[in-house]
Structures are given as C-alpha cells and as structure tokens.
Structure 1
Amino acid sequence: MPYVLLAAAIAAEVGGTTAMKYSAGFSRLWPSLATVIGYVLAFVLLAQVLKSLSVGTAYAIWAGVGTAAIAIIGMVFLGEAASAARLAGIGLVIAGVVLLNLGGSH
C-alpha cells in the first residue's frame, strides 16, 4: 500500500508542477489553484508513505520519478528540447533511484 500512496503523491506533484507552468506566475486562478492543491495533496500523501517507508527510499523515488516525469512531459507536450544529453540525464536519474533502493534501508 505505501507504494500506491507514493505513486499518488508523485502524480499529484507532477500535476501540480505541470499546472504551475500554466499559472503564468500565479496570475491565472485555475492553474494556480491546481498547483496548490497538487502540492498539498502530494505532501499529505508523502507524509503517509513515511509512516512505513524509510525517508531515503521514499524521497529518492518521489524526487527521481517526479523529475523524470516532468522532464518527459516538458519534452513531449511543452516543446522542450529532447537532446541526447537530456535523455541521458533522465536515464541517470532513474539509475540513481534504482541504486539507492538496491542499497537497502539500513
């Protein structure tokens, strides 16, 4: 169950970050509200996850997957460059999360 909550926290954070792009510096009401709601939900869910997962594991997954997802959204939907360096960076973020989790929770 903690991984389901973690996935929901990641989705809320990614949704909030994506909405922030459309908020025009928090000058547009609905994207601004979506940003705030997304981040509040993300932190509430992450707090629940931390009851059963170590902070290092949970945060590595949350930050790494969120970063990779936002980078991919930027490239696919927002017209950001999809260079070899950016794709390699996404791969390295994912590899880092995997390595941190293989190291165990000690």
Structure 2
Amino acid sequence: MKGDAGWGWTFLLLAIVLELSGTVSMKYSAGFSRLWPSVLMFIFYGASFTLLNFALAYMNVSVAYAIWSGIGIILITLVSFTVFHEKLPLASLLWIVVIVAGVVGLNMSVKSH
C-alpha cells in the first residue's frame, strides 16, 4: 500500500455511496423497462467500481471489498425498508448485525498488523 490512507477511505466511501445509488436505480429501472433509471444504474455502478479500483491503491483488496460489500448490504437494506417499504424480518436484522461485526472485526484485525 502506498500514499495517504485517507485517500483510500475517501475513494471507498464514495464507491459505497455510488454502489447504493446504482442499486436504487436498478430497483427504479423495473427490469430495464424505464430508460433513465437504467442509464443511471450503469453510470453509478461504473463510477463505483472505478472508485473502488482507486481505493485499492491504498488498501488491501480483501478489506476494501469486504467493507464495500458489507456496508453496501447494510445501506441497501435500510433503503429498502424506509424508501421501498419492504419487510425486514428479525432474522435479517440479526444477520446484518453479523455483517457489521465482521466488517468491524476485519478492520480491527488489519489495524493490528
């Protein structure tokens, strides 16, 4: 890893926000039946992967990808519950807690090396 780790975290957080935006756009695209949400989905996902790629210049791929996917899962679950009014069973909440614990544990284990 090289350079300032702050840039890695900045790129990673922006990649997560764009991944979330891409997933929301996918829902609004209704199976590619709506043009602009479909176009936005490709733009957001492309930008997300690009920023994830930039983050990898500063971070280990195992950590960056785990955080990117884990936080993305948590955020899209919250959006699906609050915006799309999808049901969130208790078992799902418990597994989200496991994801959060995994992301925190992974981050702590990397800092200890």
- Residue type of the partner of 2:90? A
Q: 1:65 aligns with which of 71, 84, 90?
A: 71
- Consecutive unaligned residues in structure 2, runs of 5 or more: 1-6
1:91 offset after TM fit, Å?
A: 1.1
Separation in 1 of the partners of 2:98 and 2:86? 19
Q: 1:88 aligns with which of 91, 94, 99?
A: 94
Q: What is residue 28 of structure 1 aligned with on the other side?
A: 34
- Consecutive unaligned residues in structure 1, runs of 5 or more: none
1:83 offset after TM fit, Å?
A: 2.4
The normalised TM-score by structure 2 is 0.88
Q: 1:78 aligns with which of 80, 84, 94?
A: 84
Q: What is the Cα-based RMSD across aligned positions, in Å?
A: 1.2
- Residue type of the partner of 2:33? S
Segments ≥4 residues shifted beyond 6 Å:
none
The range that moved more, 91-100 or 43-52, is 91-100
Aligned length: 106
Summarize deviations over 1:39-59 as a string: whole Å, max 9, x none: 000000000000110001101
Summarize deviations over 1:29-88 as a string: whole Å, max 9, x none: 100011000100000000000011000110111000001100111111111112221211
Percent of matched pairs sharing the same residue: 42
